[in-house]
């Protein structure tokens, strides 16, 4: 059984999870275990016993992102080769990058789907040429008030987009050529948590959201232009936010920006530049523009 995705969940989609010496095996309702089959590693169930082929390990799901250059509204890409260039109109594997945090420097390694790291080269050019982590593969993320982000390379300069689309770390200040719009591509569904608890509805009959719930509500993320995202509740209504509360009861989407702060934490900002904050009483609302008072949400 297995080997394909289906639109609805049936008994054939249910598996029992078994732990074997820290690894995971998945058993279907017929008692057979899931394993990769053939050269394409298609997942199917066929064996009644657990060998190394039926074992899976759990890994942290690191943030994966795409970036749009403000200068030319093109996605940053490595499709052309090793040069990191803003020249694509759609997102594919070549425009998707994994962000790996370095806790010592509080900066990020940016890894391609081809297992190469963005690296600062001689002359300031950015290439996806490094197969190992190095100091020149570290970039600081500097979030801007308009929702964009700037990359600061290991030479202390900011990455710019040239007219050709190529990326170079040559600017001492941040201007429009240094700005990129951020999309978190591997979180189409968000679950948010703060120190008080999960974000969820106040009650089953209320669209008001609170942040001190014992159980979570899933949040659909829709992508807009220039880094804007829209949040939609399970009731298929969009978030409406003000200084008093946040409710999922709007037919009209309201824009937000996501700012990645740590591998599992982010800040959420309105298009007016104010951050969403959590209070100890479970209140969940728009605060001010001060990042120091902004809530860093686990996601």
More confident residue, 72 or 204: 72
Task: Render the chain in DSSP notation, one character per residue.
Answer: -BSS--SS--GGG--EEEEETTEEEEE-TTSPEEEEETTTTEEEEEESS--GGG-B-------EEEEEETTT--EEE-TTSSB-EEEESS--GGG-EEEEEETTTTEEEEEETTS-EEEEPTTSBEEEEESS--GGGEEEEEE-TTSEEEEE-TTS-EEEE-TTSBEEEEESS--GGG-EEEEETT-SEE--EETTEEEEESSTT--EEEEEESS---EEEEE-STT-EEEE-TTS-EEEE-SS-EEEEESS---EEEEEEETTEEEEEETTS-BEEE-TTS-EEE--S-GGGS--EE-
pLDDT for the residue numbered 2: 66
pLDDT (0 to 100) of residue 280: 86
Query: Are the C-beta atoms of residues 229 and 187 closer than 8 Å to each other?
Result: no
Over range 71-88, report the average pLDDT.
Answer: 97
Residue range 17-37, pLDDT digits in tens: 999 999 999 999 999 999 999
Which residues, 6+ apart, have CB-to-CB distance to 133 below 8 Å?
A: 109, 117
State pTM to two decimals.
Answer: 0.86
pLDDT at 1: 66
CATH topology of domain 189-298: Trefoil (Acidic Fibroblast Growth Factor, subunit A) (2.80.10)
**Confidence at residue 102, expressed as pLDDT on a 0 to 100 scale:** 97
Give strand pairing partners of 86: 76
Encode pLDDT of 166-211 as tens digits: 999 999 999 999 999 999 999 999 999 999 999 999 999 999 999 9
pLDDT band at 7 (very low <50, low <70, confident <90, very high): confident
Condensed to tens digits (0 to 9), the pLDDT of residues 89-117 reads: 999 999 999 999 999 999 999 999 999 99
C-alpha–C-alpha distance, residues 256 and 169, integer Å: 28
Domain ranges within the chain, ordered by starting residue: 11-54, 64-184, 189-298
Query: Tell me, what's the pLDDT at 4?
Result: 84
How far apart CA 199 and CA 216 sit, in angstroms, is 6
More confident site: 2 or 5: 5
Share of the chain above pLDDT 90, in %: 92
Q: Which of 1-5, 63-67, 95-99 is the least confident region?
A: 1-5
State the average pLDDT over residues 281-293: 94
pLDDT at 19: 95
What is the b/e burial string over 234-252, where b = at least 16 CB atoms within 10 angstroms of the residue's CB? eeebbbbbeeebbbbebee
The yes-or-no verdict on residue 3 having pLDDT over 80 is no
**Predicted pLDDT at 249:** 96
**Identical fold, 64-184 and 189-298:** yes
- Once rounded to an integer, what is the mean pLDDT over residues 3-7? 84
Q: Which CATH number, 3.40.50.300, 1.10.357.10, 2.60.40.420, 2.80.10.50, labels domain 64-184?
A: 2.80.10.50
What confidence score (pLDDT) does residue 137 get?
98
Within 13 Å of residue 230, how many CA atoms lie on the same side as its CB? 15
Q: Which of 227, 226, 207 lies closest to 217, judged by CA?
A: 207
């Amino acid at each position: 059984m297995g080997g394909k995705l289906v639109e609805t969940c049936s008994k054939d989609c249910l598996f029992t999870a078994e732990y074997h010496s820290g690894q995971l095996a998945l058993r279907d309702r017929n008692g057979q275990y899931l394993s990769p089959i053939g050269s394409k590693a298609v997942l199917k169930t066929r064996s009644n016993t657990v060998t190394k082929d039926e074992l899976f390990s759990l890994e942290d799901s690191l943030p994966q992102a795409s970036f749009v250059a403000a200068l030319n509204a093109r996605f940053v890409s490595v499709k052309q080769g090793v040069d990191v260039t803003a020249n694509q109109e759609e997102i594919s594997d070549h425009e998707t990058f994994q962000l790996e945090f370095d806790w010592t420097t509080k900066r990020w390694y940016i890894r391609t789907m081809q297992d190469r790291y963005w690296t600062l080269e001689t002359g300031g050019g950015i290439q996806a040429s490094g197969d190992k982590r190095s100091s020149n593969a570290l970039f600081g993320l500097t979030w801007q008030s308009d929702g964009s982000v700037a990359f600061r390379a290991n030479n202390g300069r900011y990455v710019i987009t040239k007219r050709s689309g190529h990326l170079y770390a040559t600017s001492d200040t941040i201007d429009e050529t240094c700005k990129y719009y951020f999309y978190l591509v591997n979180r189409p569904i968000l679950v948010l948590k703060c120190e008080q608890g999960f974000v969820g509805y106040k009650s089953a009959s209320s669209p008001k959201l609170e942040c001190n719930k014992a159980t979570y509500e899933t949040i659909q993320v829709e992508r807009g232009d220039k880094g804007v995202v829209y949040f939609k509740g399970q009731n298929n209504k969009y978030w409406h936010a003000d200084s008093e509360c946040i409710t999922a009861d709007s037919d009209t989407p309201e824009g937000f920006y996501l700012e990645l702060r740590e591998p599992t934490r982010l800040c959420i900002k309105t298009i007016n530049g104010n951050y969403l904050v959590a209070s100890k009483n479970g209140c969940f609302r728009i605060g001010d523009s001060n990042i120091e008072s902004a809530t860093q949400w686990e996601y």
